[in-house]
Structure formats: C-alpha cells, structure tokens
C-alpha cells in the first residue's frame, strides 16, 4: 500500500509506504531515506529529477517501497562514487539487488553488446526489475521529448529493444503501453524532422 509522499521532491512525488524496518530511521520511509542518500551523492536537486520520475512511475504501477527506493538509487553506481555495499548496508539486500541489476556492466566496451547484456539481465532479474527498467526508459524517452536529455538514435533503438525484450517475458507489465506510445511519438517527430 502506498501511504506517504516524499517531502521536498522536485516536481514528482515518489510515494512510499513506511514499514517497521530496523534500518529505517523512525518517522522516515525508505523513499525519503533514498532521496536523502541520493541527494548527498549527487550534490544537486536537479540530478534527482529523473530518479524521482522513475520512482513515481513504478509507484503508479503499484510497486512496493523497495522498488521505489531502488528507482531513486538506480543510477548511483554508474554516476557517482557510491558503491553497492553502501546501498546494501543502508537499504538492505533486496534494494541493492535491484540497483545492481539496473547497473550496466562497464567491462563490456561495445555499446550494443553492453546494452543487450543489460536488457537480458534486467529481464532475467524478475518482474520488479523489468518494471524498473521500463520506467527508466520511459522517463528518459519523455525527457528527450521535453528537451531535457539529448536525443540519440542509439538510445531510441535501445529503448525499442527494451520494449521488445521485456514484453516478450512480461506481456502484461505496466508501463509497456506508455513506453510504446512514447517511442512512437518520438519516431513520428523524427520522421517529420522535428526535435524529439
């Protein structure tokens, strides 16, 4: 059940429920803690806009607080000096496993091979990670259309391949239709020569 709204969000409220988790400070839910943790790592409210949008998308799809917290933390390993052990220590093994599944394997140097491996790993990590992965791509596609993220044909191709990969494993997964519609709109805009 979604019971509380993260205070101080940057336009997108990430809703989380508060549980009696010994790792959570009294009065704080995991999403609030994840937001504080991510803000300290990023050092910028602006950099929280995408993770908070992803958290809002998975919350709207009915995801539990661990998935929502992982949504807020999902880019930290790639984008900051935060290590997975710190996430596991503060948020537990479940959240850490979701963040690990959302982290690209940088040892794969070829872009297309790295993205293909990541799509397969996200799909194979289970329905929760697949939802998180789709929400990440949906948020990024929307950010491209808003002009908040540079449009890239490679990224659009990766998002389309994500849609196909995840739909093949979880055809009823929430957000697939929204990602499909967003990608269709981006392709239409590109075909018309308008900025996506």
pLDDT in tens, 141-179: 999 999 888 888 899 999 999 999 999 999 999 999 999
Residues 99 and 110 in one domain: no
Residues 134 and 184 in one domain: yes
Model confidence over 4-61: pLDDT tens digits?
233 333 333 334 443 334 454 556 799 999 999 999 999 999 999 999 999 999 999 9
Model confidence over 65-120: pLDDT tens digits?
999 999 999 999 999 999 999 999 999 999 999 999 999 999 999 999 999 999 99
Residues 115 and 74 in one domain: no
Handedness of CA 36, 38, 44, 47 (dihedral sign): negative
Say if residues 66 and 28 touch (Cβ distance below 8 Å). Answer: no
Residues 122 and 77 in one domain: no
Residues 55 and 113 in one domain: no
Segments of the chain assigned E as strands: 4-5, 15-16
**Token pair of 191 as six digits:** 């075909």
Least Cα distance to 101 among 168, 166, 13 occurs for 166
Residues 23 and 90 in one domain: yes
Residues 98 and 113 in one domain: no
Q: 64: alpha, beta or left, given left = phi > 0 and alpha = psi -120 to 50?
A: beta
Last residue of a domain, one of 54, 81, 103: 103
Where in the sequence is the domain holding 51, given as residue range(s)? 1-103
């Amino acid at each position: 059940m979604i019971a509380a709204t993260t205070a101080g969000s940057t336009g997108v409220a990430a809703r989380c429920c508060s549980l009696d988790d010994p790792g959570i400070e009294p009065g704080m839910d995991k999403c609030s803690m994840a937001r504080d943790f991510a803000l300290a790592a990023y050092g910028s409210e602006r950099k929280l806009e995408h993770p908070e949008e992803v958290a809002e998308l998975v919350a709207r799809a009915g995801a539990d607080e661990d998935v929502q917290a992982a949504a807020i933390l999902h880019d930290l390993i790639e984008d900051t000096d935060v290590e997975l052990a710190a996430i596991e220590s503060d948020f537990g093994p479940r959240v850490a496993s979701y963040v690990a599944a959302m982290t690209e394997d940088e040892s794969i140097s070829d872009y297309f091979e790295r993205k293909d491996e990541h799509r397969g790993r996200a799909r194979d990590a289970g329905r929760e990670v697949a939802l998180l992965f789709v929400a990440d791509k949906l948020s990024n596609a929307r950010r491209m259309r808003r002009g908040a993220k540079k449009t890239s044909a490679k990224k659009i191709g990766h998002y389309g391949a994500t849609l196909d990969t995840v739909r093949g494993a979880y055809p009823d997964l929430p957000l697939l239709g929204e990602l499909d519609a967003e990608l269709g709109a981006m392709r239409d805009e590109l075909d018309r020569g308008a900025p996506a």
